[in-house]
A and B are shown apart, each in its own frame.
Chain A
Amino acid sequence: MIPTAAAAALPWRNPVLVRFCRSRLRLRKSVFWFLLTLIITTFVVTLTYIVRTKGGTPAEDAARGLWIPLLIIQGLILMFKGTGSVAAGLIQDKIDQTLDYQRLTPVAPLRSLLGYLFGLPVLEYVMFALTLPHLAFVVLVGKIPAGALISVYVAFFVCVVLYHLTGLAAGMVMRRWIWGYMLSILLVLLVNVILPTFVSQLGLKFFQYLSVWPVIGQKVLPLTVPAAALAGARAQNPYFAAGEVPFFDWTLSPFIFTLLLQGALIVTFGTMAHRRWKSASRHSLSKPYSLGFLAGFVVVLLGNVWPIITRERMPFPLFGERDLDDLGEAIAIGLPLVYACVVWLLCIVLFSIVVPTHDSYVRGIRRAMKLGRSSARPWDDDAGAVSGYAVFTAVAVGGFGVLLNELSAAGFLAPFDESQQLWRLPVAFGLVLFYTALLLQALGPRPTVLVVLLLWLLPILVAIVLAAAGNDFGVPEAVIGSLSPIALLVASGMLPLGELTSGAEGRLSAVLTGANTGLAFVVLQTAALWLHWNRRRHEYEALCRPRDRASESASSAGISSAVRT
Chain B
Amino acid sequence: MDAPRTDTPALEIRNLRVDYGRFTAVHDLSLTLMPGEIFGLAGPNGAGKTSTIRVLATLLEPTYGEVKVAGLDLFEETDRAHEVIGYMPDLAPVIPDLKVWEFLDLYAHSHGLKGRRKRERVDACLEKVRLTDKRNVYGRALSRGMTQRVVLAKTLLHEPKLLLLDEPASGMDPIARRDLRGILEELAAGGATILVSSHILSELSDMCTSVGIMHLGRLLRHGPKDAVLGAIDGERTQIRIDVVEGAEAAAMRLEGRDDVDSVRVDGTRIVVGFRGGGAARAALLRELVAQGAAISAFTPERSGIEALLMSVIEEDGR
Chain A interface residues (CB < 8 Å from chain B): 15-16, 18-19, 22-23, 26, 96-98, 100-108, 279-282, 357-359, 362-363, 366-367, 370-371, 543, 547, 551-552, 554-555, 558-559, 561-565
Contacts and interface: CB of A to CB of B under 8 A. Distances in A.
A97 B93 contact: yes
Among A280, A281, A552, A565: residue with most chain B CB under 10 A: A565
Contacts of B82: 104-106
Contacts of B273: none
B59 A359 contact: no
Given A23-B97, A104-B85, A106-B79, A563 B27 contact: no
B261 interface: no
Among A101, A366, A554, A555: residue with most chain B CB under 10 A: A101
A26 to B, nearest CB: 8
Contacts of A281: 60-61
Given A100-B59, A105-B82, A563-B231, A555 B28 contact: yes
Nearest to A564: B223
8 contacts: A15-B106, A23-B97, A281-B61, A282-B61, A359-B22, A371-B64, A563-B224, A564-B223
Contact of A106 (B112, B220, B221): B112
Interface stretch (B13-21, B182-190, B197-205, B242-250): B13-21
A363 B19 contact: yes
Contacts of B112: 106
Contacts of B218: 554-555, 558
A50 to B, nearest CB: 41
A74 to B, nearest CB: 26
B107 A565 contact: no
Nearest to A98: B95
Interface residues of B, number: 52
A552 B58 contact: no
Contacts of B102: 19, 22-23
A118 B309 CA distance: 50
A366 B19 contact: yes
B63 interface: yes
A96 B96 CA distance: 9
B65 to A, nearest CB: 8
A98 B94 contact: yes
A490 B34 CA distance: 68
Contact of B61 (A15, A103, A279, A551): A279
Interface in B86-131: 87, 89, 92-98, 102, 106-107, 109-112
Among B21, B34, B61, B110: residue with most chain A CB under 10 A: B110
A19 B21 contact: no
A104 B58 CA distance: 8
Given A15-B110, A563-B223, A22 B98 contact: yes
A22 B15 CA distance: 44
Contact of A565 (B83, B109, B224): B224
Contacts of A555: 15, 27-30, 218
Among B83, B87, B92, B109: residue with most chain A CB under 10 A: B109
Contact of B17 (A22, A97, A282, A366): A366
A23 B94 CA distance: 13
Contact of A105 (B17, B59, B95, B107): B107
A279 B87 CA distance: 17
Contact of B89 (A26, A100, A107): A100
Contacts of B57: 100, 104
Nearest to B65: A370
Contacts of B223: 562-565
Contacts of A552: 28
Contacts of A282: 61
B95 A19 contact: yes
Given A19-B98, A562-B223, A551 B89 contact: no
B219 interface: yes
B227 interface: yes
B221 A563 contact: yes
Among B21, B94, B210: residue with most chain A CB under 10 A: B21
Among A16, A105, A554: residue with most chain B CB under 10 A: A105
Contacts of A96: 93, 95-96
A106 B77 CA distance: 11
B95 A561 contact: no
A103 B58 contact: yes
Contacts of B59: 100, 103-104, 280
B110 A106 contact: yes
A563 B57 CA distance: 26
Given A18-B106, A98-B95, A106-B112, A561 B64 contact: no
Given A371-B64, A555-B218, A359 B109 contact: no
A22 B96 CA distance: 12
B222 interface: yes
A565 B112 CA distance: 37
Among B24, B85, B95, B220: residue with most chain A CB under 10 A: B95
A102 B110 contact: yes
A17 to B, nearest CB: 10
B49 interface: no
B207 interface: no
Nearest to B114: A13
B20 A105 contact: no
Contacts of B20: 359
Contacts of B97: 23, 26
A108 B110 contact: no
Given A23-B97, A96-B96, A555-B27, 7 more contacts: A15-B106, A100-B89, A106-B111, A362-B22, A363-B63, A558-B220, A563-B228
Contacts of B63: 363, 366-367, 370
A362 B111 contact: no
A47 to B, nearest CB: 36
Nearest to A22: B102
A559 B30 contact: yes
Contacts of B79: 106, 108
Among A26, A97, A102, A559: residue with most chain B CB under 10 A: A559
A101 B106 CA distance: 10
Nearest to B82: A106
Contact of B87 (A104, A108, A363): A104
B269 interface: no
B21 to A, nearest CB: 3
Contacts of B61: 279, 281-282
B161 interface: no
Nearest to A551: B27
Contact of A359 (B15, B21, B28, B92): B21
Contacts of A98: 93-95
Given A19-B95, A97-B89, A104-B58, A366 B64 contact: yes
Given A551-B27, A558-B220, A563-B231, A18 B95 contact: no
B221 to A, nearest CB: 6
Contacts of B83: 106
Contact of A554 (B27, B80, B87): B27
B154 interface: yes
B19 to A, nearest CB: 5
A101 B104 CA distance: 11
Contacts of B154: 101
B143 to A, nearest CB: 17
Contact of A561 (B29, B80, B221): B221
A558 B21 contact: no
B109 A562 contact: no
Contacts of A22: 98, 102
Given A100-B89, A371-B64, A555-B218, A563 B227 contact: yes
B98 to A, nearest CB: 6
Nearest to A115: B110
B23 to A, nearest CB: 9
A543 B220 CA distance: 24
Contacts of B22: 359, 362, 543
